[in-house]
């Protein structure tokens, strides 16, 4: 049986954890800092030990309070964080690690509810272990083929849009600085206003993301300008190791005829590919993403509660803090 042992966050050997082949951006110290500040959360890092006491991996998550109750999220809906979960040695059983997480969360941490979304855990792994699960769709683009092949995998309409943006003089550039957050967020507000809604997070979330991740070189902030130099669209694409992610994008409606959004995606794909990234995770569902030639995946979101009523409270918290499209 595997057991989890909580570590002091300030004494964690982060380079060792970051060297795991299954390590994801959302498990890094910098991303934990981002979630801690935006969610008033308590980071949790735990060593996973085998019967003989040897460390076979690590767990990453954070504790939040919702409705006065302690919840362990790895991650929790609304954190604008795709996956967390485990980093394991070859041969360590991910399902056993998930089972060992339950007593760790409920007994040692004193939580009443647990959420888990591990990129490498599938439905059949936990459906008989007492976990509830919700399907969670995403799309991934394989960036390894040559650029001509990547471009050819897109729909003809998407290819035409990219060519149109080039013909119209749209230029995509890399941005920096926290002021980019205000530019992006103003566009995002207009996107939501078209549906008589407001963004599900505030501009401070974007500022904190830039503050925490951009200095690491793991965050691509993109701005599209029209031929006359006006900023007309923006996109945010973090990455670590082999995988980049689409975190958010927005544009001014009056300039969408110039197709800046497609131009930004194409720039992001080529840029991260050139930097050794092999996959672009498009950050959830949304059928418009199919035009970029991805494959569709389901990465289930698992949860377990000590009390039945917590399922209802969890859904209320999810709706209050849901990210765009989630």
In this prediction, residue 325 carries a pLDDT of: 35
The 10 Å Cβ neighbour count of residue 4 is: 23
Report, as ranges of residue numbers, the positions in the chain whose pLDDT lies below 70. Answer: 125, 308-326
Asked if 7 and 48 count as a contact pair (C-beta separation under 8 A), the reply is: no
Domain 3-136+300-321 and domain 139-297 have a common topology: yes
Contact indicator for 149, 304 with CB cutoff of 8 Å: no
How far apart, in whole angstroms, are the C-alpha atoms of residue 58 and residue 213?
A: 22
Pick the CATH number of 139-297 from 3.40.630.30, 3.30.460.10, 3.90.920.10, 3.40.50.1970: 3.40.630.30
CATH of 3-136+300-321, one of 3.40.50.20, 3.40.630.30, 3.40.605.10, 3.40.50.720: 3.40.630.30
**Strand, coil or helix: 31:** helix
- Whole-model pTM: value is 0.92
Mention every residue, 6+ apart, whose C-beta is less than 8 A from residue 105: 72, 111, 114
Using the structure block, give the residue that is written with the tokens 């309070």: 65
- pLDDT, position 25: 98
Q: What is the 3-state secondary structure (H, E, C) of 106-169?
A: HHHCCCCEEEECCCCCCHHHHCCCCCEEECCEEEEEECCCCHHHHHHHCCHHHHHHHHHHHHCC
SS3 content of the chain, % helix, strand, coil (to 5): 40, 25, 35
- Which residue(s) pair with 178 in the sheet? none
**pLDDT score recorded for residue 124:** 72
Tokens representing residue 7 in the block: 């570590």
Within 13 A of 219's CA, how many CA atoms are on the CB side? 25
- In tens, the pLDDT along 97-145 reads 999 999 999 999 999 999 999 999 977 767 777 899 888 899 999 999 9
Q: With contact defined as beta carbons under 8 Å apart, do 277 and 243 qualify? A: yes
Q: Is the peptide bond before 75 cis (omega within 30 degrees of 0)?
A: yes
Domain boundaries, the chain: 3-136+300-321, 139-297
User: What is d(CA 326, CA 319) in angstroms, rounded to the nearest whole number?
Assistant: 8
């Amino acid at each position: 049986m595997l057991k989890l042992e909580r570590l002091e966050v300030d004494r964690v050997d982060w380079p060792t954890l970051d060297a795991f082949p299954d390590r994801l951006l959302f498990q890094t110290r910098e991303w934990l800092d981002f979630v801690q500040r935006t969610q008033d959360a308590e980071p949790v890092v735990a060593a996973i030990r085998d019967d003989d006491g040897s460390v076979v991996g690590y767990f990453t998550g954070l504790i939040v309070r919702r409705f006065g109750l302690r919840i362990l999220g790895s991650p929790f809906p609304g954190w604008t964080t795709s996956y967390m979960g485990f980093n394991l040695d070859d041969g360590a059983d991910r399902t056993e690690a998930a089972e060992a997480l339950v007593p760790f969360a409920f007994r040692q941490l004193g939580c009443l509810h647990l959420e888990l979304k591990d990129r490498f855990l599938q439905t059949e792994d936990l459906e008989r272990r007492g976990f509830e699960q919700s399907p969670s769709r995403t799309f991934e683009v394989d960036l390894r083929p040559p650029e001509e092949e990547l471009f050819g995998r897109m729909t003809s309409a998407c290819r035409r849009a990219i060519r149109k943006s080039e013909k119209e003089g749209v230029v995509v550039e890399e941005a920096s600085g926290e002021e980019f957050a205000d530019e992006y967020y103003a566009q995002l507000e207009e996107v939501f206003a078209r549906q008589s809604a407001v963004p599900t997070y505030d501009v401070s979330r974007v500022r904190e993301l830039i503050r925490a991740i951009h200095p690491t070189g793991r965050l691509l902030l993109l701005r599209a300008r029209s031929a006359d130099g006006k900023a007309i669209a923006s996109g945010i694409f973090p990455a670590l190791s082999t995988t980049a992610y689409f975190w958010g994008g927005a544009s001014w409606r009056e300039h969408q005829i110039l197709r800046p959004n497609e131009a930004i995606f194409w720039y992001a794909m080529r840029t991260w590919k050139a930097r050794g990234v092999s996959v672009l995770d498009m950050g959830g569902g949304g059928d418009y993403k199919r035009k970029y030639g991805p494959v569709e995946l389901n990465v289930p979101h698992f949860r377990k509660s000590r009390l039945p009523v917590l399922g209802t409270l969890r859904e209320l918290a999810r709706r209050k803090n849901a990210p765009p499209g989630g």
